[in-house]
A = this chain, B = another copy of it.
């Protein structure tokens, strides 16, 4: 174990800042990655670019690739998804234009950039990088199980896709606002683009998954916080193994349990009932104790996007009373969220 408290980030950094690419989409729902980057990593985004005819905008200045390079951009990030996860022909001309202007290309899509011959040839000819953030780095070790210095918080959920990443981001922002040294630690492709580095946990070979989680949050100063984006759920019939590897490798001191009120069945697996919040807290602490005997629950994050402010506030209050811990929606700043931050930091 390092005794120097010098953080050594083993994970490579993405070249930034970014020019956000919006493709040719006409619906904001397909540009979630670009909006996430605008909201959570504004310092990493110099502007946006799109194919002719695209109608979606993040509100950032529209820059040609040449203008973006002049403004300091080092890469163009594909900020849109489309059905099927493939990169359409229509985008390729724009991406080639960006590469010619001097930008590397970064993608979080399932399709590998290097599968597109035009991009691969241009990258070789121009000396540009094609970076797939779903591709784990080489040389991930088997987990050592050794305790690391610094403090760690991990978000876990009752299911997939209910706010673990945004909870971690909101907590990171709040910790920083209170003057704590803190890093958001990304474990999925959108989080990696936001943080500028991270580990695509779902793409790691299973024997190395806990080792990959150890790499995500290296030794740090004893007062430093890593806030780690959770993946899957310990109760998920397909992904529980990934969640457990991430829990064991993260060795969190504090966990925050994320849930979406009203969701009763596992997304995509309707034959499975969602676990209760209490069951999720209990199993998380039970299993997490294996690699960190001091693990505790900081509180619960509810995704109340479907409720109005009054209903959300009432629910947060009643759930906090029922569960006996801090309960907040990290997307709704206010006293409840302040109490959750307090409870994580004690």
Contact = CB atoms under 8 A, between A and B. Distances in A.
Interface of A: 142-146, 201-207, 209-211, 235, 237-246, 248, 266, 269, 271-272, 287, 290-291
Contacts of A211: 238
A159 B201 CA distance: 24
A243 B240 CA distance: 10
**Looking at A143, A205, A207, which has the most chain B CB atoms within 10 Å of its CB?**
A207
Contact of A238 (B145, B238, B243, B272): B145
Given A146-B271, A202-B206, A237-B290, 17 more contacts: A142-B238, A143-B238, A145-B237, A145-B272, A205-B206, A206-B245, A207-B238, A207-B239, A211-B238, A237-B291, A238-B248, A240-B244, A240-B287, A240-B290, A241-B241, A241-B245, A272-B290
A172 to B, nearest CB: 25
**Looking at A143, A201, A211, A235, which has the most chain B CB atoms within 10 Å of its CB?**
A143
**Looking at A237, A248, A272, which has the most chain B CB atoms within 10 Å of its CB?**
A237
A205 B205 contact: yes
Contacts of A245: 206, 240-242
Contacts of A238: 142-145, 207, 210-211, 248
A148 to B, nearest CB: 13
Contacts of A205: 202-206
14 contacts: A144-B237, A145-B269, A202-B207, A203-B205, A207-B239, A210-B238, A210-B240, A238-B248, A240-B244, A240-B290, A241-B241, A241-B242, A241-B246, A272-B290
A255 to B, nearest CB: 16
Contacts of A246: 241
A250 to B, nearest CB: 12
**Looking at A145, A241, A246, A291, which has the most chain B CB atoms within 10 Å of its CB?**
A241
B210 A203 contact: no
A209 B236 CA distance: 12
A248 B243 CA distance: 13
Nearest to A275: B290
A262 to B, nearest CB: 21
Nearest to A201: B206
A110 to B, nearest CB: 11
Given A206-B204, A206-B242, A242-B207, A271 B237 contact: no
**Looking at A204, A235, A239, A243, which has the most chain B CB atoms within 10 Å of its CB?**
A239
Contacts of A210: 237-241
A241 B143 CA distance: 11
Contacts of A235: 290
Nearest to A270: B145
A237 B210 CA distance: 7
Contacts of A203: 205-207
